[in-house]
Amino acid sequence: MFLRCGTFALSLERPLVMGVVNVTPDSFSDGGRHLSRESAIAHARSLIEEGADILDIGGESTRPGAAAVSLIEERRRVLPVVEALAGCGVPISVDTRKPELMREAIAAGASLVNDIGGAEAPGVLELIKETGAGVCLMHKQGEPQTMQQNPQYADVVAEVRAYLAARIGAAVAAGVARESIAIDPGFGFGKTYEHNLALLKHLPSIAALGVPVLAGLSRKAMLGRITGREPQARVYASVAAALFAAEQGARILRVHDVTATRDALAVWWTLSGRMPIS
């Protein structure tokens, strides 16, 4: 299995690690740590050294209750970082819902669009087709401001799966190559603890849709509920969750802690009888 994004064809024979770079003052686990351009770029470079296969650059927190950010502000945060990292050797993903910023980021060197809005905004799928960028289609229920207040599903797994299948269908109908599409059930995006557990348990049925599954569990509240720890102290919990997601069929793991995740993946992958990860 491959994921094509721009000039990259990423082999998904082994799970890939996507390192998170939040250029925000208010992200739930690392808000304000990489808000300046210089520190975001330095952080991104250190994640590459740690072995990140993809970098995900975001300028808007989408944690529950987060305030929306204007295009001007999000652009100011994200674009210089993308520009500085273009050509760094790993694909740059832009974590945004704004089509204008997607276009500008791709022009500046990004090759993957990570859209928590499922590429539903007008023009996004056309942009992906036109530019040859990859796209991650994520499911969420509601909007970050209020999504955790009362999420409701009759059957969370069936509903999320059907949504993702429909978004793959819409992307392909718009002319996006199937190999350029990844999907994500969107852990914590309009989901209770029980919804998240059900989605993890049934991740193989989502992976059966036939495009790579991205899982973003790193430092999230469900891990706090299990361990009783604050976001920055959820590294071990996040590593365990990443391994479990990989075992369940996830092929891209979106994480804050790249070294820890890579080492754990390499050991698990090798001990389970597969080719060592270089």
For residue 162, how many other CB atoms are within 10 A of its CB?
12
Give the separation between CA 1 and CA 152, rounded to whole angstroms: 34
> Read out DSSP for 228-246?
---GGG-HHHHHHHHHHHH
- 3, 16, 17, 20: residue in contact with ligand HH2 (rule CB under 6 A): 20
Instruction: Show contacts with ligand HH2 in window 63-82 (CB under 6 A).
Output: 63
Measured CA distances, 169 to 3, 30, 66, 83, 166 (Å): 17, 35, 30, 32, 5
- 135, 214, 223, 237: residue in contact with ligand HH2 (rule CB under 6 A): 214
- 47, 52, 55, 61: residue in contact with ligand HH2 (rule CB under 6 A): 61
Stretch that binds ligand HH2, among 61-69, 167-175, 197-205, 239-247 (CB under 6 A): 61-69
Contact 71, 59 (CB under 8 A): no
Give the residue at shortest CB distance from ligand HH2.
Answer: 216
Angle between helices 258-271 and 235-247 (to 10 degrees): 40
Per-residue mark of binding to ligand HH2, 82-121 (x: CB under 6 A): -------------x------------------x-x-----
Query: Is residue 220 annotated as part of the catalytic site, yes or no?
Result: yes
Q: 26-54 burial string, b = 16+ CB within 10 Å, else e?
A: ebbbbbebbbebeebbebbeebbebbbbb
Q: How far is the CB of 160 from ligand HH2 (least distance, A)?
A: 12
The amino acid sitting at 134 is G
Angle between helices 71-85 and 37-50 (to 10 degrees): 50
Stretch that binds ligand HH2, among 6-14, 16-24, 233-241, 262-270 (CB under 6 A): 16-24
Residue with smaller CB distance to ligand HH2, 136 or 265: 136
Angle between helices 258-271 and 37-50 (to 10 degrees): 20
Q: How far is the CB of 256 from ligand HH2 (least distance, A)?
A: 6
Backbone angles phi, psi at 80, to 5 degrees: -60, -30
Query: Which of 220, 234, 251, 262 does the annotation list as catalytic?
Result: 220
Stretch that binds ligand HH2, among 2-10, 152-160, 184-192, 204-212 (CB under 6 A): 184-192
Does residue number 163 form part of the binding site for ligand HH2 (CB under 6 A)? Answer: no
Give the separation between CA 274 and CA 272, rounded to whole angstroms: 6
Query: Which of 75, 161, 219, 254 does the annotation list as catalytic?
Result: 254
Stretch that binds ligand HH2, among 33-41, 55-63, 146-154, 155-163 (CB under 6 A): 55-63
Query: Is residue 201 annotated as part of the catalytic site, yes or no?
Result: no
Does residue number 139 form part of the binding site for ligand HH2 (CB under 6 A)? Answer: no
Q: Which residues are catalytic?
A: 220, 254
**Could you list the residues that contact ligand HH2 (CB under 6 A)?**
20, 22, 24, 27-29, 58, 61-63, 95, 114, 116, 136, 138, 184, 186-187, 214, 216, 254
